[in-house]
Amino acid sequence: MNQTSKKGDNTEHPTADAAVLSTTIHTEQAIAQAKEAFDHVAARSRDAMEQGLKTVNTITTMTRGNVDALIESSRIASGGLQTIAQDVADFSKQSLARTASAAQTLTQAKTTPDLMKLQSEFAQAQFNEAVNEFNKLSQTMFKTMTEIFEPLQRRAVKAAQIHDLMHGD
């Protein structure tokens, strides 16, 4: 009986070993495939995270640049408005001085035609000064507006360039 059971063990044992070996191979292959899939997912997740960080950094840089451009424009606007206010104040002082001088001159007129002539000359001089001041003020305002929008225009161009780079245009 010992021989029979040894024979039976020998015939069944290779089949069991083959089954264990086959199961082990399939298990190792499944583990390798799962590890490969996990590594692939991890790599794609890492790439997506890096791309997300790059996008956040780009947006942060753009926002910082936009704020800097707004601050620069505000500084230019403030300086321009101060210049314009000073010019208007100076013109007003000069105009007041000319008006006081003209009033004194008008009081010294001896005749009505002299008075009319002096008043006409004063009115013409005031009109010419007002036109000159308006032209000067218009030029200052145009220059200031151009300077105010220049930093914003630079940022708009930069934003368009970055947009094109990010979207492959």
CA distance 149 to 98: 37
Domain that holds residue 119: 2-167
Number of domains making up the chain: 1
Contact call for residues 155 and 69 (beta carbons, < 8 A): yes
Rounded to 5 degrees, φ, ψ at 109 are: -65, 140
Residues present in the chain in total:
169
Q: The whole model's pTM is what? A: 0.63
pLDDT in tens for each of the 169 residues of the chain?
A: 444 444 444 455 678 788 888 899 999 999 999 999 999 999 999 999 999 998 898 889 889 999 999 999 999 999 999 999 999 999 999 999 999 999 999 999 899 999 999 999 999 999 999 999 999 999 999 999 999 999 999 999 988 888 787 777 6
